[in-house]
Chains A and B, each alone.
Chain A
Amino acid sequence: MSFLPAPLLVRSNAPLARVTGVTRLAAGVLWLVAAAAIPDARGELVLLVTAVVVLVAWSGIPLRPLPRRMWPVALGALGLGLTAALGNAADRDLALPTLLALGPLRLTPPGLEAGLALALRVLVIGLTSLLVFAPADLTRLADALVQQLHLPDRLAYGSVAAMGLAPRTAADWQATGAARRLRGLAPRTPAGRLAAVPGRLLVVLVMALRRGERLALAMDARGFDSGLPRSRYRPVHAGPLDAVVLAVAVATVVLVVLVQQAG
């Protein structure tokens, strides 16, 4: 019925699941900055290997469903890597040795290096996002954002509530298509399908807005955002484990820089 993926069942006692969402975000942002800044493939490889080790040892994320989830990232990495490798400026430098020739395209060592670096970078970004967001549910992340970064409750928990409505909206979208088919209005061409989108979107949006409005009223009726200070049912405390995770993130980045300078 729904095209939203089922959530991954993550082991909740895994180290990454026990640190706060803000810790994971901070470590993740550090890695992403490093991944973006590093020019060569060796540095990216260090990040990738570390990410895989963290995934297997620390994340509690089940590995079996991952290929099905992550294949778009892998495909993107491959595509971007190939493009960068074969479209590299160095590939036109005839002084460089040819590693591989594909018709008019040739692969040179700098091209290979650039392609590898980009492919690895995409993989690191995908895996880092997984490590940041998958280990704990949305509630915990909202808790951490509110309690540690002092994001407004309305924004954080409003988003949590809105996400709960997403499956219904996805189902509505499919139902609008089904209704049109039954009424003899199914578009027969891709162009027709595209032309039907605004009408279906309008229906889905109207319904989603109504539903959101009802949810907001229900939240108000329960005293949400009424001006009283909220108490916390799930207090968020950063502990030694948070320090360890941050230290590992920093250490990896330092290692990457050292590998660069050694090379």
Chain B
Amino acid sequence: MTDRGEAVGAPPAVRAVRFGWTYAGRSRPALHDLSFTLEPGQLLLVVGPSGCGKSTLARALAGIVPHALPGAWTGALMVGERDVAGTPPGVLGQEVGLVFQDPETQLVMPHVADEVAFGLENRGWPRDRMLAAVPATLAEVGLAGFEARPTGALSGGEQQRLALADILAPLPRLLVLDEPTANLDPPGTTAVLQRLARLAARRDRTIVVIEHRLEALLPLADRVLLLDGEGGQVAFGSPGEVAARHGDALAGGRTWPAVAPPAPDAPVVLQVDAVSAAYPPVAAGPAPAAVDAVSFVVRAGERVALVGPNGSGKSALLQVVAGLRRRTAGTVRLVDPDGLREDPARLPSTALPRRLALVFQDPEVGFVARRVLDEVGGPDGLQTLERFGLAGLAEEDPFRLSTGEQRRLSLAATARQRPTLLLLDEPTFGLDERGRDAVAALLDEGRGAGQAQLMATHDPRLLPGCDRVVALRDGRVIFDGPAAGFLASPPYDPPEPWRLGGVPPRVAVGSAA
């Protein structure tokens, strides 16, 4: 955490002087009064709650703000010697590379080599230089030999490393990463963070990272910029300085507190027997894993986590359980208190809401109303919204809410149904600590009332709060037991990423590739 020495007289890599930005049509600024200086070769970690303007800062450093999005600019933001507001994005783009959250909405071309070359073509690189740079950059992010693969057939971690290669190829002086691991499974996260650690160790470019996984990045950071919920600057300094005054903000992720196990004789609510399901092929390349002869039960008041790498069949299994995806073999039975056993795929739609609910990873697909209040419905709709901290938004369009608000709204909608079985697909995806806490509290409430919960998740920090873990690989169950047992020896190779705090160690400078 020592400062990286720099030649005296070199201009700072980034310099903000009372910089602020207000999107057109908004009354409150997304960012205001940011003042900080970043020296070349340093790594800056930007920290703050969801919706605090972190992504806006990333966009500004790349010149998308103000050149591609309308709004009002205040103060000054310099990247090297260039004033962002006065520099055409094409020129700024020569120096700045930006990696976004979602791998799928930043990959342009259908094949890997073409994808890396895309940014080089835009900059007018001669072809022989591109032919040399493409394989070299792919090797740099650990994707050597992937040139001819279809981008759609890569795992999330591979896609995000490809996105990293995309912006590394043109040799930018400033690298900006906006939550690059948000969508990734633990191995994918580890792979991306390891590459990032290696880049940082080389110190040949300046890096700005926005990330919720502080424990992984704080050791790499030279500077921390802490923002408040309103886009204002709370602190800027070395991690030590910022931690001394704002320790809470840098405390890292909390784990979900352990829960008392349900009574061992609690009735079975869901019984899954030898279920298989097939994926139709989506793209050329290896066929995605199917669900393969999966069996398990979930009891009343029990919370079961479904874990596994991207593509191991978690979402598919949830859909099979909900009766939304055809199974090719096996049985799924919802057991009601009277012992009646029913196949959710055969239940009429109107009978389903009280039996089971599914909170989608993307809450938007589940919204049916144009008004937040109507989404919850019923005479006590407002009280329900109140409990979920959404009362002030009752008249809003559900599509205009933030990710965290949307997730709480979809939970609120299911809360009114009081389903015996709640299925959740990555319920904390895209949420900050506060959002995760809110979701956790709501789930605890439901579980306390005897609700059974089956939750697909990538986040090891949620596991201590689960009664059991069902771990999948290639569509098969490879572990079914207490969360503590899973965390003690994760059944994956390598196991480290699946442990609590299982993020990559600091890479020694000497080993940097």
Contact = CB atoms under 8 A, between A and B. Distances in A.
Nearest to B117: A233
Contacts of B125: 231
B120 interface: yes
A165 B126 contact: no
A133 interface: no
B110 to A, nearest CB: 6
A22 B312 CA distance: 41
A91 interface: no
A226 B122 contact: yes
Contacts of B490: none
B166 A222 contact: yes
Nearest to A162: B108
Contacts of A167: 152, 282-283
Nearest to B167: A222
B114 A207 contact: no
B98 A221 contact: yes
Contacts of A219: 108
Contacts of B110: 137-139, 160, 163-164
B68 interface: yes
Interface stretch (A52-60, A109-117, A183-191): A183-191
Nearest to A222: B119
Interface stretch (A1-9, A29-37, A242-250): A1-9
Nearest to B63: A221
Interface string B3-29: 000000000000000000000000000
B433 to A, nearest CB: 24
Contacts of A181: 324, 349, 352
B368 interface: yes
A164 B100 CA distance: 17
A182 B344 CA distance: 10
A152 interface: no
Contact of B109 (A160, A185, A203, A220): A160
A185 B279 CA distance: 26
Nearest to A215: B105
Contacts of A207: 362, 364-365
Contact of A182 (B130, B131, B356): B356
B415 to A, nearest CB: 13
Contacts of A211: 104-105
B388 interface: no
Given A6-B284, A164-B152, A184 B90 contact: no
Given A164-B151, A206-B399, A186 B90 contact: no
A176 B282 CA distance: 19
A190 to B, nearest CB: 15
User: Which one of A199, A222, A226 has the greatest number of beta carbons of chain B within 10 Å?
Assistant: A222
A5 to B, nearest CB: 9
A111 B350 CA distance: 54
Contacts of A2: 280, 282
B368 A183 contact: yes
B106 interface: yes
Given A207-B362, A220-B89, A221-B62, A232 B121 contact: yes
Contacts, number: 191
Contact of B368 (A164, A185, A221, A225): A185
A180 interface: yes
B348 to A, nearest CB: 8
A224 B362 contact: no
Contact of A185 (B105, B349, B360): B349
A155 interface: no
Contact of B108 (A4, A9, A164, A230): A164
Contacts of A179: 358, 360, 365-368
A139 B111 contact: yes
Contact of A214 (B100, B280, B350): B100
B281 interface: yes
A233 B93 contact: no
Contacts of A222: 93, 97, 108, 118-119, 122, 166-167
Interface string B304-339: 000000000000100100101100000000000000
Contacts of B353: 182-184
B341 interface: no
B89 A226 contact: yes
A58 to B, nearest CB: 21
Interface in B280-295: 280-284
A228 B170 CA distance: 15
B413 interface: yes
B121 A231 contact: yes
Contacts of A172: 362, 365
Nearest to A224: B122
B431 interface: no
Contact of A1 (B102, B167, B280): B280
B106 A218 contact: yes
B298 to A, nearest CB: 17
A223 B62 contact: no
B255 interface: no
Interface in B105-142: 105-111, 113-114, 117-127, 130-131, 134
A75 interface: no
Interface string B29-47: 0000000000000000000
A258 B89 CA distance: 59
B271 interface: no
Nearest to A177: B324
B322 to A, nearest CB: 6
Contacts of A226: 88-90, 93, 122
A89 interface: no
22 contacts: A161-B109, A164-B151, A178-B324, A179-B358, A181-B352, A182-B322, A182-B324, A183-B352, A186-B349, A206-B364, A206-B399, A214-B105, A218-B98, A218-B100, A222-B108, A223-B93, A223-B119, A225-B122, A226-B90, A227-B90, A229-B124, A235-B127
Interface of A: 1-2, 4, 6-7, 9, 137-139, 157, 160-161, 163-165, 167-168, 172, 175-176, 178-186, 188, 199, 203, 206-207, 211, 214-215, 217-235
Given A175-B365, A203-B367, A222-B118, 8 more contacts: A9-B284, A165-B104, A181-B352, A182-B324, A188-B349, A222-B93, A231-B121, A233-B134
